[in-house]
Amino acid sequence: MDKKQIITRLKELRREDPSFMDGKIISSVSTEPLDIALEAFRIFSDTNALDTYIFPSIQKIEKDIIKWFGILLNNPQISGYITTGGTEANMAALYAAKKIYPKRKELVVPESAHYSIQRAADLMNLRVRWTTLDENFKADIDSIKSEINKDTLAVIATAGTSSLGIVDPIEEINDLCEDIFFHVDAAFGGFVLPFLGRRKIDFTLVNLDSLTIDPHKMGLAPIPAGSILFKDNSYLGRLRISPPYLPVRTYTLSGTRSGGSIAATWATLMYFDFDGYKKIVEECMENTKFLCNELKNIPHADLVTDPELNIVGIKIPNAEKVAEELQKMNWKIAVNRDMGCIRVAVMPHVTREVISRFIEELGETLKKFCG
């Protein structure tokens, strides 16, 4: 194929999928990347973050990102690295935990945790003790208490669950974890909660060992970009390995890593910075409120629970059938079969206009199905 044919073919294929800016994607926790981030990606597209011998500059950029997180999370001692996403970050956290407590074999995990925790447990031959949720879908503290024992390696809490954006009682769980590894999966909420200032998810929690926070979710960076953030440098020390074929040491789960995505994350963080994120988060929360208010006018649609973050669960009868109908109108919609609800992630591309259009079409569809 010549260059023109390649580009034509790729554009053709890309047009088969929607774009965030079409105003119909309400199921995704990612969004349209910034042009400056794509430019940053391009500048560093030939770099490998593993190979700090050839590419030391990418290490400087990554250190800068971690320092930025240190300010956000009140911890100048913070350490960590950019992962491919929340899944790898959760795995890195539990891998570090296993290195610290090699004899312990159990994880205590609320039912609402992301499936990557189960994956990590399987890979490391750990047993998961699942704990129940309270009536607001938050981790039940008594259930966690009752599952902790001398074989507990780690307790995991979530700040922004995948289904409903629920924030577990992090402070209370923190109090239970004096001699246990405590990991908070804030893949989604990590770029929301610190800017709302309502709930504490930072390293002032004395027992907190690690946090997952994903730049490619509410950090608005291009995919792939997650992050694992540890209380101090000693955790990374436990993950260190020296490949015999390279003049470098590494502490990441993956080998070769895209320097492009690290540069793109840096560009996004520097562009928005703390004030920019605060503004965006406030707008998303305003739009979330708007969606919840508009839902009150639609018969047969109810909130699963009052949202704490910009993820909304909408309970409707025949959720799968209704979603199918909306999909025919080009809506990209996530259905939670267990809960019989639709999940709307009110990302920056989910504007008031998008919400109004969705409400109108949801209302019409429900009328058709439920009268």
Ligand X SMILES: Cc1ncc(COP(=O)(O)O)c(C=O)c1O
- Which residues contact ligand X (rule: CB under 6 A)? 29, 85-87, 90, 114, 116, 158, 160, 162, 185, 187-188, 214, 226
Q: Which two tokens stand for residue 169?
A: 């009682």
The nearer residue to ligand X, 51 or 62, going by C-beta atoms, is 62
Q: How far is the CB of 162 from ligand X (least distance, A)?
A: 3
User: What's the first-to-final CA gap in the chain, in angstroms?
Assistant: 55
Those residues with Cβ within 8 angstroms of residue 172's Cβ, 6 or more apart along the chain or in another chain: 141
DSSP assignment of 239-276 = T-B--TTSS--B--SSSS-BHHHHHHHHHHHHHHHHHH
Residue 323 near residue 5, CB atoms below 8 Å: no
Q: How far is the CB of 149 from ligand X (least distance, A)?
A: 25
The nearer residue to ligand X, 202 or 214, going by C-beta atoms, is 214
> Starting from the edge strand earliest in sequence, which strands make up the sheet with 302-303, in order?
302-303, 311-315, 341-345, 334-336
Q: How far is the CB of 116 from ligand X (least distance, A)?
A: 5
The nearer residue to ligand X, 72 or 82, going by C-beta atoms, is 82
Separation between Cα atoms, residue 343 and residue 307, nearest integer Å: 11
The nearer residue to ligand X, 158 or 365, going by C-beta atoms, is 158
Q: Which amino acid is at 32?
A: E
Q: How far is the CB of 40 from ligand X (least distance, A)?
A: 20
Nearest to 350 by CA among 132, 101, 28: 28
Evaluate the omega torsion of the peptide bond into residue 243 and state whether it is cis, within 30 degrees of 0: no
The nearer residue to ligand X, 90 or 252, going by C-beta atoms, is 90
Q: How far is the CB of 90 from ligand X (least distance, A)?
A: 6
The nearer residue to ligand X, 335 or 359, going by C-beta atoms, is 335
Q: How far is the CB of 214 from ligand X (least distance, A)?
A: 5
Tell me the Ramachandran region of residue 212: left when phi exceeds 0, alpha when psi lies from -120 to 50, beta otherwise.
beta
